[in-house]
A and B are shown apart, each in its own frame.
Chain A
């Protein structure tokens, strides 16, 4: 390590991943809005032949927002605050810079090709794990490179104590590595037999119920280690830094970290309630899901209490508003999830629109709001310019908040209506409704969802424009702001 007299933090990788976060955010949300509209207006399925149908585009939406938008956001924030909380610059290690740049290009090209492969119908047909084996290998390589960067930066750090956010990012790294590897174990039959099957296709090593169990252990924990753990890590850095208030209770942050690690991994089987998995495992999934409220709310309450005595900032600083709303939505979706995992509630909720409703109040309200807030906080430090427009940020906030509320309320109503109609029987025990009856009843709610998608996407485009203008036309800053983000 060099002397730190002239050293500065190097944000080049954070900037690159920020651009990708915005790019994949626009792509993923655009496709999401289109498929929401397709559900309301089925004619929209035929815009692009087979490449534009719901079944092709739905995995494009989910994978782009998970592995494109969110993962880029995780990388961008790591390359920003990782240096800061470890008090070491990326510029101090040429090796780590090279590894980081290889990671960036491999990730960018790999993600684009993987998305194209999904449009062409190349899919492993496992939810959120649709990428076929060649792309899985690229994902593993990118992840290993990121791991080298995390461990490398930790290895040369000046701050010997690891801040809580670093723990969360380490857990994200280890958790996703374990989940991704085990769920994607598959044999590319073309290469191990005499040319049987498609070269791009591989057959899962698990079959039947075991496959379902591994898949939902993965699927649920991808939410845990992709959408929860790193986002909690993010807010534990950005909320204190933006507000100038240290975390309310550092001990509570440690305790809820271990609580989350302990409980989350057991809850995945709630995706398989009332299916052909052992009953004790379903009960375990339900029980652990309910217990999960404790560590989740432990973190969320800790975030909100960090603002204790400083609530005035909520009115003057829109960035604080974004983060407080994010933690509030985290609380909402972490109480909603356990409720849905109770077996009797699940009997109505399963396979209905309440499920995407739940997912979206979590991701739109919590994950996207937090990643946008992190980028708003980083932008003036990375580009040395103040945020272009506070007004635009305020309007974006209200537009997107309204969109999230419209999304989940319409899906609550749609889901419960759907669940009740599927179960309704007449006095002779015959089903009262056919499937198409439910579709006709749900149509208005699908329209509301499509509208909320348009509103949310518009808000995201306002965010992208604000960041673009910040980079190019924001007022130049002479010194790096310590806490509150400057905005015009």
Chain B
């Protein structure tokens, strides 16, 4: 019988040749980690370059609580860490046939990374039966183990993280986001090892969530921030990041090694600014040239992940990562006599600032410009944003600015929503059952950048049609003619588009009455948040500001009946829809403001109620009655 079953299974697998994945998702919390033990021990190594290693051992016991399934297990490593051994046990039996796959890990939008993955498929063979993974991993340099997280992709019943710190190793362990979690610390001393052992025990940890537009994990999940200060071993004393100065000193040492060829850069700077006399115009020209001519390609490769590529190399390649682009921008501006500096910065994905001396603090590099007593920041990886305008991801973030052997801490301006204003002004009249007139659009800041990204992401032969479909929202009755666009290649000015409109069937005529919907775009309609599913705060991509006005001529012999106004004004956002009659015109004005791009979970209920009000208001019509 067993043989027959085997045959049938074999045939079944032959027959079902086109299967999609078997795995069901874990929405029902079927899979849990019953227990996980992680131990990190600092050990002295016989290696002058890396005198201190960290040995990590991990034991994780997975259980399915509802039905058997197969799950992936992954552990990451890179050039500064390696996986020494992986073992799998099912119901306490070693499964040697389960072989890990070691592979490069490709990350979206990163051209090259040294990240690698050790992957396994874990069979959870029966409800309640444990499948355990045991893994040994080592870190060559304590600086690269920046944090240890408690949460996992599955709920964790119990997790123990032990950190063994010999007394020759100086480290600060910062407890982050512990609030609301059941995590305790037991600190003991191991005589034999002359080491302090910090043992954290966490129970009942929720699984990590995968909500889109969510804050970075360092804001949300409990973790230990590892801040190695120094180590004294037989190789001598090794200083890591005792204080922020040490972090800067290391960054600065890397910058010193860049080796820019100033002659080449100066020649290019002069070429870019040829014929330009004003300083501001020169600065803008350099910024725009780098944005337009250097393709952003991300590298995360060991030391290359921290050391900028030489400016002449980026110039020659016409591509670079953020560091290479920042360094080239600096070089070009310096060549023209400006005071330009490199800046290290953590985008808003990271919760920390430079009060924490760690490589986990930053993930980006930009350029600062000191000009006439004012400081500007230049981020050429933002391809279509204007000078002195800032992307949400870097706004209000602390920056570490190079200043020879010291550094300056500053902050990127926290721009108001008005940086990103988009305006639509329509002047319309009734023509049969159509609305006819002219329309003007203006875009600024990040709303402009969003649109230009779309334009430049569209094939040339399709841009006109794509632009029309963007403007008419795929509604063929929203007929656009005489489209005029400002220079899409100059993003240091407002982007404007004007056109004539014939919006067919926009007037619903019944008997002597006409009904007109004054709002065509209805931004944020139905933008309610499903509170039954979403766990994370919601982050808008940027602070939005929409201003709209439609002026409608009231046809002769008609009087207008106007809908009620809507005014919603909260701390983080506002919706204003107003109707008024001025002479023989109905004027509809709309202003939507997202003041704060971070919408907290606690505000979801209010937000949903307000969006409902907005939805309702959008449905109201202007009535034109025959006098």
A binds B: no
